[in-house]
């Protein structure tokens, strides 16, 4: 059971998913913006769509791990349980009395129910009477005592594997920060991963997994934009170089906008030498090649066109883009709906949302087999197949 990822496209063996659950049912028109959803998903249909996604993977021999299962198993470890409960109670909104009440409530829950509370949160009315205190009385009853984590669905962002090391990321948006207390506990305490020294930690500068692409063995790209900060990219680069995991990292500036929140919303790999990329950006995307100096410090070279810099770092003549040939309006619509956010199961075989008809047709015409999945409800969180998956094991490419 080797956990190892040195490519975006080599045959996928094990992947971490999160089947959306009760946390999606917490979304309302009042909170969906702050919880980073563009609508109110139909939960049952979102689950069906997600089951379709998981089936597309398992039918092709991929082992699917579910975050909720790993979390419940992790919670059987007393140190993990204590760490996760402390993470929830470390919230200044609570105050002493409510914190004690929540602590007592959590102490009564078995691992499965506790895993559910940690993901779905705790609504005001779910905390039974007892000494709940002034903060509780003053809270808006529609607010949460423990906030839900509807974006757990996007397992890509809260951890990243680079070769045999896992980085637990540092999420930028307040609505997502607690997600990494869960992934960190899993990687630190679950018997499958235990004793792993983390490559990155949520206490560090912001880095999100959707911004990290393993372009080739020992070559990474890190998007720098709305989520990953320049300081986060520098810190991750320093750690990756220190661990000998890469020789070149491309720092790729992307617009600080919701539509391009991560590098993987505009560009994903579909073959060892090919990407599908948002056409409105293909000619302008630039990269700063970063290498380690003699002291191991990341040093940036002058920026160059992304495709050129990537090909050189990867040691290939050309990094091809799949020419989608889309008019700018269709390109913009399909980018918004995650048309460029594909998950490669193997070279030239990728999962994509079926709704992005034009992009998918062009992928097929270019020799990339597309496994289409439904995503009308899942997509309301603004993330596609790559965002919804964290590969843990791929066949080594080098």
Ligand X SMILES: NC(=O)NCCC[C@H](N)C(=O)O
Residues in contact with ligand X by CB under 6 A are 36, 151, 154, 156-157, 173, 176, 210, 261-262, 264-265, 381-383, 387
Catalytic residue chosen out of the listed positions 267, 350, 387, 390: 387
Here the tokens at position 284 are 């302008």
> Buried b / exposed e across 258-274, counting CB within 10 Å, b at 16+?
eebbbbbbbbbbbbbbb
Here the tokens at position 377 are 């409800």
Give yes or no: 350 in active site.
no
User: Which residue number, 225 or 298, has a Cβ lying nearer to ligand X?
Assistant: 225
Q: Least distance to ligand X from the beta carbon of 261, Å?
A: 6
User: Which residue number, 248 or 265, has a Cβ lying nearer to ligand X?
Assistant: 265
Q: Least distance to ligand X from the beta carbon of 251, Å?
A: 17
Q: Least distance to ligand X from the beta carbon of 289, Å?
A: 23
User: Which residue number, 15 or 101, has a Cβ lying nearer to ligand X?
Assistant: 15
Token pair 């009760």 is found at: 22
* Residue facing ligand X at closest CB distance: 210
Q: Least distance to ligand X from the beta carbon of 32, Å?
A: 10
| 3-class state of residue 17 by DSSP | strand
User: Which residue number, 264 or 273, has a Cβ lying nearer to ligand X?
Assistant: 264
Catalogue the long-range contacts made by 283-290 (C-beta closer than 8 Å, 24 or more residues apart): 285/252, 285/254, 286/252, 286/253, 287/221, 287/250, 287/251, 287/252, 288/250, 288/251, 288/252, 288/253, 289/248, 289/249, 289/250, 289/313, 290/233, 290/237, 290/248, 290/249, 290/250, 290/251
Q: CA end-to-end span of the chain, whole Å?
A: 18
Q: Least distance to ligand X from the beta carbon of 222, Å?
A: 13
Rounded distance between C-alpha atoms, residue 141 and residue 206, angstroms = 32
User: Which residue number, 49 or 73, has a Cβ lying nearer to ligand X?
Assistant: 49
Known catalytic residues are 387
């Amino acid at each position: 059971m080797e956990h190892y990822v040195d490519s975006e496209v080599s045959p996928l063996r094990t992947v971490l998913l999160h089947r959306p659950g009760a946390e999606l049912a917490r979304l309302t028109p009042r909170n969906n913006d702050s919880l980073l959803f563009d609508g109110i998903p139909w939960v049952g249909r979102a689950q069906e769509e997600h089951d379709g996604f998981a089936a597309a993977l398992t039918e092709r021999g991929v082992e699917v791990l579910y975050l909720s299962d790993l979390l419940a198993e992790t919670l059987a470890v007393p140190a993990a349980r204590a760490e996760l409960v402390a993470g929830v109670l470390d919230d200044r909104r609570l105050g002493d009395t409510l914190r004690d009440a929540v602590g007592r409530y959590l102490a009564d829950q078995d691992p499965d129910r506790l895993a559910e509370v940690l993901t779905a949160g705790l609504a005001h009315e779910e905390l039974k009477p007892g000494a709940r205190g002034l903060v509780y009385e003053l809270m808006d009853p529609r607010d949460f005592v423990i906030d839900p984590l509807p974006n757990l669905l996007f397992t890509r962002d809260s951890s990243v594997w680079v070769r045999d090391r896992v980085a637990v990321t540092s999420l930028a948006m307040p609505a997502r920060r607690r997600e990494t207390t869960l992934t960190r506990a899993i990687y630190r305490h679950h018997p499958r991963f235990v004793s792993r020294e983390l490559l990155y930690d949520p206490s560090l500068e912001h880095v999100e997994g959707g911004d990290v692409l393993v372009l080739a063995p020992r070559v990474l790209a890190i998007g720098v934009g709305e989520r990953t900060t320049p300081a986060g990219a520098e810190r991750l680069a320093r750690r990756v170089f220190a661990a000998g995991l890469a020789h070149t990292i491309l720092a790729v500036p992307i617009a600080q906008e919701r539509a391009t929140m991560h590098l993987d919303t505009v560009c994903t790999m579909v073959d060892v030498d090919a990407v599908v990329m948002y056409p409105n950006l293909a000619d302008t995307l630039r990269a700063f090649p970063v290498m380690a100096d003699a002291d191991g410090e990341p040093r940036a070279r002058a920026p160059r066109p992304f495709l050129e810099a990537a090909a050189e770092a990867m040691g290939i003549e050309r990094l091809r883009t799949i020419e989608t040939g889309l008019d700018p309006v269709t390109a913009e619509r399909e980018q918004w709906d995650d048309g460029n956010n594909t998950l490669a199961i193997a070279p030239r075989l990728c999962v994509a949302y079926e709704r992005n008809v034009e992009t998918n047709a062009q992928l097929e015409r270019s020799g990339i087999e597309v496994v289409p999945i439904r995503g009308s409800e899942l997509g309301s969180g603004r993330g596609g197949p790559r965002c919804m998956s964290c590969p843990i094991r791929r066949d080594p490419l080098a």
